Amino acid sequence: MLRRLYSGSNLDRAQSLYDLRARAVKKLPNFCREYLEGGGDDELTLSRNRQSFNDILFRPRMLVDISQRDLSTQIFDQRIAMPLAIAPTGFNGLLSHEGDLKLALAAKKAGIPFIQSLVSTVSLERIAATGVRHWMQLYLFQNRENFKGVIERAKKAGCEALVLTVDTSVLGNRTWDRRNYRAPMQLNLRNLIHLATRPAWVWDILVPKGMPKFTNLGDSLPPNQASAKNAASFLTKEMDASLNWQDVRWLRENWQGKLILKGLLTSEDALQAKALGVDGIVISNHGGRQLDSAPSAIDVLPEIRQAVGQDFLLIVDGGLRRGSDLIKALCLGANLVLSGRATLYGLAAGGQAGADKALEIIQTEADRTLGLLGCTEINQLGKEYLL
């Protein structure tokens, strides 16, 4: 009998994130799958994000009492169940109805932070009301008044941290995604036909209230113009190509909570961020969707950790598919790892139950890997556990 990933609806039978991905691919229309899976240009960076993790080998120690193990850690003076957070990803309402809310509830249940994207399809106030540890991701707009409005809403909602994305001043060339459309946000005939083969998706997404809206851009868009098409046009026009370190300084002065920069890949930029009083950075190539041939986060993590020292929060983003990947990142100096596509596979496969399952798989695999390495706590991890 040939090996085959499980793609059925019984989530209990999913043995790995790859099973959840197989189920997601089976359920999603083609254009949604491409949006979820695609990268920039030739997708070299997208592939490298996985290959870099695969190339890391462990150096386990034996005859250690590993009967009691603990994955919990402390981030910003609060403990979380494991060193993982759900990454900010946009338009999750395409994968499951009110997908962002389901991800937030899954994160709360797992005891980890949820980073909400500005281009999510559930309002930040509703996410904050769940009681999840809530961080809000932002893009800097040319119109600073629009930007200030989102900051004020985040402040009133009690968001713990702002996560400013800095690697999208120029949008990447996502060719496979664009091939699905005959005009911006207008599906071509091939994809419209394929949509008819996914009735469950249609009834989950389109039938309740039509295409999801970018609710967090409501203050920035004209009245009744929060559709995907109008919001995409707005974002393209409003992305500020002049974004620079003075803007980071301004944001630091105007936001009293925790501030994180997402999208840095060099030690020089990490040191600059630290000097400006930023509380941490996300080492990220935007999931391989921006600059192709950029390094993976795990490639540059050791250099950045050495540059900034041990007292600065480093978060790794991109490529996580196994709990063992989380452990590898911790060995190389990360404090926290983000789950982007990994939890989206679960969301697309089975809504909140699927997201719960994805986080359960990651936690179980990470705990098992910790034990197999001969460790009982994650603060014991270091380069000595890698070849």
pLDDT per position as a tens digit, 62-116: 999 999 999 999 999 999 999 999 999 999 999 999 999 999 999 999 999 999 9
148/254 Cα distance (integer angstroms): 9
**Burial label, 73 (beta-carbon count in 10 A; 0-12, 13-18, 19+):** middle
Q: Which residues pair with 258 in a beta bridge?
A: 161
Q: For residue 226, is pLDDT > 80?
A: no
> Which DSSP helix (H) or strand (E) runs through 313?
strand 313-316
Residue 7, pLDDT score? 96
CB crowding 25-38: b at 16 or more within 10 Å, else e: bebbbbbbbbbbbb
Of the residues 97, 134, 194, 286, only one is catalytic, namely: 286
- Could you tell me the CA-to-CA distances from 152 to 125, 375, 377 in Å, in that order? 11, 43, 39
Per residue in 309-360, pLDDT (tens digit) is 999 999 999 999 999 999 999 999 999 999 999 999 999 999 999 999 999 9
66/62 Cα distance (integer angstroms): 10
Joined tokens for residue 56: 């890391």
User: Minimal CA–CA distance to 369: which of 59, 80, 30, 37?
Assistant: 59
Mean pLDDT for the chain overall: 93
95/342 Cα distance (integer angstroms): 13
Residue 237, pLDDT score? 73
What is the three-class DSSP state of 134? strand
Residue 300: which residues within 8 A CB-CB, separation 6 or more?
265, 266, 267, 283
Mean pLDDT of 221-248: 74
Residue 210, pLDDT score? 81
Cα dihedral: 177, 183, 185, 189 (round 10) = -80
Binned at pLDDT 50, 70 and 90, residue 219 comes out as low
Q: For residue 224, is pLDDT > 80?
A: no
Per residue in 25-72, pLDDT (tens digit) is 999 999 999 999 999 999 999 999 999 999 999 999 999 999 999 999
φ/ψ of 255, rounded to 5, equals -130, 120
Contact (Cβ atoms closer than 8 angstroms) between residue 252 and residue 274: no
Binned at pLDDT 50, 70 and 90, residue 361 comes out as very high
Per CATH, the number for 16-176+233-385 is 3.20.20.70
Residue 217, pLDDT score? 76
Residue 102, pLDDT score? 98
Per-residue H/E/C for 55-111: CCCECCCCCCCCCCCECCEEECCEEECCCEEECCCCCHHHCCCCHHHHHHHHHHHHC
Relative orientation angle of helices 323-331 and 341-373, to the nearest 10 degrees: 70
- pTM, two decimals, is 0.95
Every domain of the chain and the residues it spans = 16-176+233-385
Residue 48, pLDDT score? 98
345/59 Cα distance (integer angstroms): 30
Task: Tell which wins on pLDDT, 284 or 207.
Answer: 284
Residue 221, pLDDT score? 65
Contact (Cβ atoms closer than 8 angstroms) between residue 225 and residue 245: no
Task: Tell which wins on pLDDT, 237 or 4.
Answer: 4
Task: Tell which wins on pLDDT, 352 or 229.
Answer: 352
User: Minimal CA–CA distance to 281: which of 244, 330, 318, 334?
Assistant: 334
Q: Does the annotation mark 194 as catalytic?
A: no
Mean pLDDT of 11-30: 97
352: left (phi over 0), alpha (psi -120 to 50) or beta: alpha
Mean pLDDT of 102-131: 97
